[in-house]
Structure 1
Amino acid sequence: MTTSFSSAVEPGGAQQNDAAAAGNDGVLVLDAAQHCLSADAAFAHIFDIDSARLTGRALTETPLPKPLAAALAEAADAALAGNGIRRAQVTIDDDDSTRSFSILALPSNESVTLIVSPRAGASPTQENTERIAHLRAEASLFMRDHVLSVVSHDLRGPLNAIHSWGYVLERKIDAKDPAAQRALAGIRSGVEQQVKLIEQSVDTTRAETKALALSLAPVAVRPLLDKSATFARSSIARQRGVTITVESLLAEEQVEGDAERLTQMLWLMFAFAAEASARDSSVQVTSNIEGNMWRTDVRFTVSAKALTDASSPHVLEAFARRQALEPREGGRIAWAFALCKRVTEAHGGAFEHANIADGADVVLSARIAVAGM
């Protein structure tokens, strides 16, 4: 058995190989003490283990191969300690076979998500597999921070109201009534504790994506579209029987942007559309320069069954797919598109989407400023 471990870096030179890639990578979530919080069906299938034998158990007490458990533990510890994405590789020598896996560790405040991908050897297909795992991790990271932002905002309103009504009650209640004064003190203390919790545990956890740093350079638009479509086909569309068609007259046009972030944005739009489409349907992508904006629209017809069917392959987390179908409050975006929103806004543009409902014809629209960012 051999194990290698390394810190995550932005992958360079990703192959634009359109061969079938993973889609069979599994997801395991551990808490800070390395107890299994959840394991998806793909992870259980890879190792032929009932997920019920994982959930709630310490990693060392699970029936997972010991070399794998050790690599998972090391990657999880490093990710949590460094508050950043970490990668690892492990090779398991069985009696009659050798299996290799790539591990991607994505930390959050009190847990770490581990994406385990079977390796087929050092090949363009494997590089594509690892690239897609990285895209999934980035989408999850931005979605986590977006949800925390929503929680922080939505909790402060009620807490401010409770605080204000506390002062109103203070003027109305007899100052000599000890029971009433204890009740008021309890209200004020509770509000202060909740505000402190928000500031220390919620707001600070968002620091990784709160300020989005960009590496700006002239970027050719058409290769970005084609590469992102290739990743989306490999990661989900081909397995779901969905066709992604890119229609664009763009050829040599460029924008001043961060090529890596723009690829992540486009892949997420294409991949979500493929996940939300019924088998044998089509996702239509159009992309053009309009004035001082580069605009890309992704059109598809929503199938709620395709989006939520646990037996079908997926690249996005189950709770995000379910949340996308809920009515939007105040025009907010679905959580799954947090990365798209942040990337477009950082490039002087905007991201919009129509309501995602079963049977609806939906357009995801990203606009990026061409100049003057």
Structure 2
Amino acid sequence: MSASSSIPASASLPLAVLRLGRDYRVSFLSQAQAEVFGYRAVDLLGKRLSDVVGQEAFEHMRPSLDAAFDGHAAQRQIVLRDHASRERHIQFTLLPDGEEDHDGALVAVIADVTSLMPAPRVDSEFRTLVENSPDIVSRLDRAMRHVYVNAATEQLAGIRAEEWIGKTKAELGLPEVTVRAWDQAIQAAFDTGEVQHFEFELPASAATRYFSGRAIPERGPDGQIGSVIGLAYDVTERTRIQKENDDLLGRERAARIQAETAARARDEFLSVVSHELRAPLNGIQSWAHVLENYIKDITGVPLAQRALQGIKTGVSQQVRLIEDLLDVTRMMSGRLRLVMQPHALLPLLESAVDSVRDLAAAKKVSLHCDYRVTTEQINGDSDRVQQVIWNLLSNAIKFTQSAGNVWISAAQAEGMIAVSVRDDGIGISPDFLPHLFNRFSQEDTSSTRSQSGLGLGLYLVRHLSELHGGRVRVESEGEGRGTTFTVELPLLHRTDKYAAVNALENNVISNLALPSLSGLRILLVDDQAEARESLSILLTAAGANIHAASCGREVTDWLATLAPDAMPDVLICDIAMPEEDGYAVLRKLRHWSPDGQSRPLQRMPALALTAFAEREDRIRALTAGFQMHLTKPVAPEELIVVVNTMAPRNRIPAG
């Protein structure tokens, strides 16, 4: 008997039977088909099998289907999801249809064998894990109804598991804020097919609890999303800690703002105090000068001369105290500016010693100098380095008895230059040594102390030394045994100011082919003679024609002598200069006119070459109209390349 001869009677069988044509379309199926696929039989007639079981399952079955079409019986088992998204194991028995009028069709006997399949151990273990998890685990369908919830969900909400199934969170009466967060995440997972991360809170009578959740889409064999898994875990404690941290951060920010406001008020107050103190001191000093130089009646009166000297000394001391106080304030607020440049140390030492000779002579203290340095250089702020040495010397003289001695020495030591100031004065007790460099620190603070001052000098010595990359140390064998202070500053190894120029001329600066500045007219403005000389030699060696000036006034006087076709091509200008700073010089040149109408230098490229090296310095220079900003000391090859880049493109190099 052929397979097809029994098909009409099979409509009452528990098995499903269908017939497929060569085009894989369903031409007949029994009503039991609905029990397997969840459809009415009439809805599947004429459909391709791939539309019924899904493309992936169809491709899996296709070899067996083709074998049956060719007259060979076959069997294939696939896994499908029914309309409730449950996995079903379906077995297809494929037989060739022998009826002549069916043109090579096949008959498929379909059986649901899910109940015969052993439950995988992994599913059992997974369910055990889920049921015992302290986290919320649930499965929801497209209507936001719960298909499954674990024990933790039941316990947390106080709603029995069976009451969850088939209902939404809104139907269960959960708080609106909770429902809204869940529904948005679940819907987004269905819409995008991507895992959604969300947060929600669950208000309760005792306290609101906070959760972090994920919505994970589940796809069936056909690739369609049938449900979404919702996972959530309690982050209440983490949220509490985060809130405490945020509150702490807010309080810290408020305290910092308050401290910064107080610091600004302090700085403004000190600035006002400084101005108000300087004004009368300036008057006192001026009148003392008048008395000393223009009032003839007192020039021969020793007492009057002594009084004048006392006034001048007092003014000088008060000015120094004000400067020290302002310097400490600048250090505390990070606003102390250093102008770092190469300097020979010996002239700085000699200048500092000269400034205290009168102080030493007045106290009959002998100064002894032992300099074992000649041309050695440091990279530093010359005024601040002298301030360090001056503070140490004046401190030594102050704490040395009349007819005592102060020694100052300088020598190289392991890449550093060590400057030592030693005295045979009152010494320092071992207990006070650790506090010596603190602000406002003085060993004797009683009302009967023998020495005046604010206790700022050594604090400045330490911090200025450190800002120069150096350090300071102190040694004393105790009271009455004298004291030795040693400041160490990094040695600048390039001591020959023409070394860079010589290196350029000998072609040993680098292996780069440096551009020629031939024919380029450069205006160089710098108030330091040494800087003008060395830069002029360097740029001349590169082929440029240089005119160097020390100030803006010299520049305008020189410009007035030039022919219209002899104007400079490029400006190189220092910033910190006494008469006019570099910004004022640039403004003057931009507006300079030989005839009251034309402004030939309005677009002249300008380079700021300065020791001001901070980011805000560069921004200020560029904002002021300079095209480039380089910091001293500048590498010669960098300067040449930058100047060449800035030069007008239409210049004609000299022969």
Scaled to the shorter chain, the TM-score interval is: 0.3 to 0.5
Q: If the length of structure 2 is used for normalisation, what is the TM-score? A: 0.26
Higher RCO, Cα 8 Å, sep 6+: 1
Q: If the length of structure 1 is used for normalisation, what is the TM-score? A: 0.43
Q: Greater Rg, structure 1 or structure 2? A: 2
